[in-house]
Amino acid sequence: MIKTQTWKSDTCECVIEQQFEEGLYEITLVNKVVSKCTVHLGITDVDIPTVAIENNKRKNRVFKFLFDNLRTKLFEQVQQGEDLTWQLKSGIEYNWNFTGTDKDRVLSIVIVGINLTTAEKNLIRTWADTEFGVGKVTI
């Protein structure tokens, strides 16, 4: 059965309609741009889904890298009902924003509430340069 969902990134205002086969969520059959944001006006509708989803994944993958590599410094376990879950420590924030337009957007991240060492910043920067290309993430 073919399903349709509307998707909006939290990194821009583009709205994309995706059609996929139920049970095969990784296989998108059709992407249709419902609306295009001002930062992506120079990109074709064919490229919008890839670019918008890549920006969203980049922001989320940096956060996951922080969790995987700086967990004890930035995160704490908290009780939620019967379960334990991880969250940023009280007073620490992961702030991000994108600058630039089209395919050349740069993700800038700032960790508020704690100072990262030069070595920690270099670890993040080196990983991000390798994963996304040099200069695609700044810290």
Tell me the pLDDT of the chain averaged across its residues. Answer: 91
Give which of 116, 112, 55, 124 is closest to 88, Cα–Cα.
112
DSSP annotation of 40 reads: G
Structural domain that includes position 110: 2-138
pLDDT digits (tens, 9 = 90+) for 10-61: 999 999 988 877 776 556 667 889 999 999 999 999 898 889 889 999 999 9
From its phi and psi, is residue 83 left (phi > 0), alpha (psi between -120 and 50) or beta? beta
Q: What domain count does the chain have?
A: 1
